[in-house]
Structure 1
Amino acid sequence: MTRNTVPTLHGDIMTTNTPGTDPAPNPHATEEQVKAALEDTKLAQVLYHDWEAETYDDKWSISYDERCIDYARGRFDAIVPDAKLPYERAMELGCGTGFFLLNLMQSGVAKKGSVTDLSPGMVKVALRNAENLGLDVDGRVADAEKIPYEDNTFDLVVGHAVLHHIPDVELSLREVLRVLKPGGRFVFAGEPSTIGDFYARWLSRATWYATTNLTRLAPLNDWRRPQEELDESSRAAALEAVVDIHTFDPDDLAGIARKAGAAKVETATEEFAAAMLGWPVRTFEAAVPPEKLGWGWARFAFGGWKRLSWLDEKVLRKVVPPKFFYNVMVTGTKPAA
């Protein structure tokens, strides 16, 4: 079975292209397209992520150096501590700018990679990042529910913060298992837990409200982004409510994976105190001019996250139920033939 179509955007309508003619990015959606996207989650996915693609790494402090290599590898090792590395060929589902797969490849997890995303803009940036890093990576614009690769193609499929964007998670995981070789493994990390998403959103909203209102005051006015940038962020936030479809209870996510046909399914969670710092920090960064934030801020943000992550792992994990942690990870394998 082969999937030979990929999504593209023509005006307000999502259609398909044949391989080799992936659509171009559309980073400046019209008001009409945004309005249509509020009723069409896949159109919203394309518009929102095309809009963010060129600035996404800066927004989320993503890098391809030791800091994020260690982070990506840490997520992988936390859920698959005994993997036999390297995998020959890996694919990232919903790759964004390539953060997860490219950093995993740099750490020795896989030799060759493929990046896929519904957003043409994200695939473009991910391939550019891979080229700059000298990694052997190809890419396709792809719907996660119709992955455009042959059966039994990959040894490993990974994703970071992608499952919660996909309308039919079970169907997508069936597709993941289809393109995996028998015995191949999938690893998805960074998925929002139901409880974690609740407190993260409230912290983010409170931070945005406080920052955008306090910076109206004359003494703080030079800490305010131009109004057109704030308005654009607000439009993006409206789409974010459409693109963020799911939250997950760890046990429920494991059940979806098993129902899709996966074997050896396991879940894990992480970030409780660290998430309560991370979300206000990221929201504040989005609300103020980037030139106001220097290395001192970066050291505070990353150092604080690391210290609270240590607290989560060494102390809070022993007393706080797993479902209260923000990030959910899941892994499983394709049953051997």
Structure 2
Amino acid sequence: MTQVNDPAPNPHATAEEVKAAFDDPKLANVLYHDWEAGTYDEKWSISYDERCISYATDVFNAVAGEDGQPYPTAMELGSGTGFFLLNLMQGGVIKKGSVTDLSPGMVQVALRNAENLGLDVDGRVADAERIPYEDNSFDLVVGHAVLHHIPDVRAAFAEVLRVLKPGGRFVFAGEPTKVGDFYARKLGQVTWYLTTNLTKIPVLNGWRRPQEELDESSRAAALEAVVDIHTFDPSELESMARGAGAQDVRAVTEEFAAALAGWPIRTFEAAVPQEKLTLRWRLFAYRLWLRLSALDKKLLAKVLPRELFYNVMITGTKRS
């Protein structure tokens, strides 16, 4: 359970709070992720079934391998709703878990998800630069799409190594590369502009979300631009981890063709009424992503520089 002194979620940030957060990345992270917590799983098509269990375990094994599984204890840093940790637990990678996030709303949802799944998980509201656990607490630390939100990534790596047991491992996935973030944002901006303007045409007006929902999405997007602090070159990310004292450091990348299609699809889905996104559409989008991901792994990863791919994953260990 969360500690009694953990702050309460704030899911309805005002325009004034959003404005203040532009000068405070940590406040922006709390406001944005509290705001998104209740609908985050739906927005990003997160589930806790075989589809996402397979994805999480495949990503983990691609960078860290299967040695050492199951890990007795693991913590997820910046857990969000618990996607990575909970699916790794269901996949047999982890036995007991802890979720941490700067956002009280995300910790609340992650603990609820864990309870619904019957998993042995506790949670804390936590700053990645000052993790509230003792030295040598965990066999494994994981994170998914978290490092790029943290102001001082080097300090976070040092904290991760502090709470790991000697010989323990960390695995971070879902981090944007410098090149990948550039084309993903451009594709998202073009898709949002086209969708929100074309749906003003009377014949397409049924595909337009109510203006107040579009305004709220725009406010959330403004916060998102503040909370996404970093993009990474894979080699530079490896150097950060080694500089913090990690050994056996290795970074790999994934998703090129899948990202080129995925970002316009996600942006389109955020710009239209949810009832328009039928099961047929969702199956089409998922199957397309599977095919393009297979193309990335089987062909493009062998011929393209790793810097061109959208996601970077990194692992390393603490010295024994």
Q: Secondary structure at the match of 1:277?
A: helix
Distance 2:246 2:101 in 1: 22
> Which of 233, 246, 252 is the equivalent residue of 2:230?
246
Q: Secondary structure at the match of 2:123?
A: strand
Distance 1:198 1:185 in 2: 30
> Which of 174, 177, 184 is the equivalent residue of 1:190?
174
Distance 1:216 1:31 in 2: 25
- RMSD of aligned alpha carbons: 0.9
Amino acid paired to 2:100: T
Q: What is residue 85 of structure 1 aligned with on the other side? A: 69
> Which of 77, 86, 110 is the equivalent residue of 1:126?
110
Q: What's the % identity of the aligned pairs?
A: 74
Amino acid paired to 1:62: I
Q: What is residue 45 of structure 2 aligned with on the other side? A: 61
Superposition deviation, residue 159 in structure 1? 0.2
Distance 1:300 1:258 in 2: 41
Q: Secondary structure at the match of 1:94?
A: coil
Matches within 5 A, 1:158-237: 158-237=142-221
> Is there any run of 5+ residues in structure 1 with no aligned partner, and where?
1-17
Distance 2:194 2:14 in 1: 29
Amino acid paired to 2:85: L
Superposition deviation, residue 120 in structure 1? 0.4
Q: What is residue 265 of structure 2 aligned with on the other side? A: 281
Superposition deviation, residue 277 in structure 1? 0.8
**What does the per-residue CA deviation read over 1:3-45, in whole Å, with 9 as the maximum and x for residues that have no partner?**
xxxxxxxxxxxxxxx9531011000012211111011000000
Matches within 5 A, 1:39-58: 39-58=23-42
Amino acid paired to 1:298: R
Distance 2:264 2:189 in 1: 9
> Which of 59, 73, 77 is the equivalent residue of 1:75?
59
Amino acid paired to 2:201: L
Q: Secondary structure at the match of 2:220?
A: helix
Superposition deviation, residue 318 in structure 1? 1.7
Superposition deviation, residue 82 in structure 1? 3.4
Q: Secondary structure at the match of 1:184?
A: strand
Amino acid paired to 2:74: A
Confirm or deny that 1:316 pairs with 2:300. yes
Distance 2:282 2:18 in 1: 33
Q: Secondary structure at the match of 2:51?
A: helix
Distance 2:57 2:8 in 1: 31
Amino acid paired to 2:38: E
Q: What is residue 156 of structure 1 aligned with on the other side? A: 140
Distance 1:47 1:310 in 2: 36
**What does the per-residue CA deviation read over 1:195-227, in whole Å, with 9 as the maximum and x for residues that have no partner?**
000000000000000000000010111111110
Amino acid paired to 2:5: T
Confirm or deny that 1:262 pairs with 2:246. yes
Amino acid paired to 1:296: R
TM-score normalised to the size of structure 2? 0.99
Q: Secondary structure at the match of 1:155?
A: strand
Distance 2:47 2:279 in 1: 15
Distance 1:309 1:206 in 2: 23
TM-score normalised to the size of structure 1? 0.94
Confirm or deny that 1:94 pairs with 2:94. no
Q: What is residue 103 of structure 1 aligned with on the other side? A: 87
Superposition deviation, residue 79 in structure 1? 0.4
Q: Secondary structure at the match of 1:114?
A: strand
Confirm or deny that 1:36 pairs with 2:36. no
Q: Secondary structure at the match of 1:24?
A: coil
> Which of 255, 260, 271 is the equivalent residue of 2:255?
271
Amino acid paired to 1:208: W
Superposition deviation, residue 83 in structure 1? 1.9
Which segments of structure 1 move beyond 2 Å, counting only runs of 4 or more? none
> Is there any run of 5+ residues in structure 2 with no aligned partner, and where?
none
Distance 1:124 1:97 in 2: 8
Distance 1:54 1:93 in 2: 19
